[in-house]
Amino acid sequence: MRAGLLHAVFATVLVASLVTKEQVSDPLLDSASLEKAVIRVAQSHDITFHGYAIVTDAEIRALLFDAPECPGASLVALLAVTLEQEAIVRSRASFPGAQRRYIYLDRAWDQPRRFEVFIERAKYAVLSAVGLSRYVPSWHMLFVESPADCRDLDQIDWRLVWDRHYLSTITPKSEAVVYRD
């Protein structure tokens, strides 16, 4: 009797995980769409996008921004939630006393927190699977580095980057990049 019950529970978990995987996966979540969303969110706060920077020889692209009240350029990079690229991005030459923030949906950390990011992603994957979240769980998070005296990027509500409705307005052919001089 116990073996039959155990098999039934295992089969239920297996089927539920397959259904959840299909519902959670979203074609909008490629890194190009997220990059465009980051640029649009920053520009909506009067932060100017200045192009891309290649971080070290690893060919990791980072977005460069200028904020009105900041003494220098700020960098935003999309990192995998596993934070494998974090040491490479962090090792690049930065400003003295630069502020670093790791952002995933509605959470932000001053230090890389793999476990907390994993828990947040799992939470939003479950909520999204049952239709209780407007955010799409992603395998990417934001690494934001800005000069010490710059608070402009800290005041941005980055949650829109993962917002299902906001991402749906960004099609592969839409032009989200607007250069301002």
Give the per-residue pLDDT at 108: 92
| Segments in the chain forming alpha helices (H) | 2-24, 31-43, 86-91, 114-129, 164-168
So where are the chain's domains? 26-168
Report if pTM > 0.85. Answer: no
CA distance 167 to 32: 11
How many Cβ atoms sit within 10 Å of the Cβ of residue 84?
Answer: 10
Instruction: Give per-residue pLDDT as tens, 55-95.
Output: 665 567 789 999 888 888 888 988 888 876 666 566 565 66
Kind plus residue range of the DSSP H or E element containing 118: helix 114-129
* Residue, of 8 and 39, whose pLDDT is higher: 39
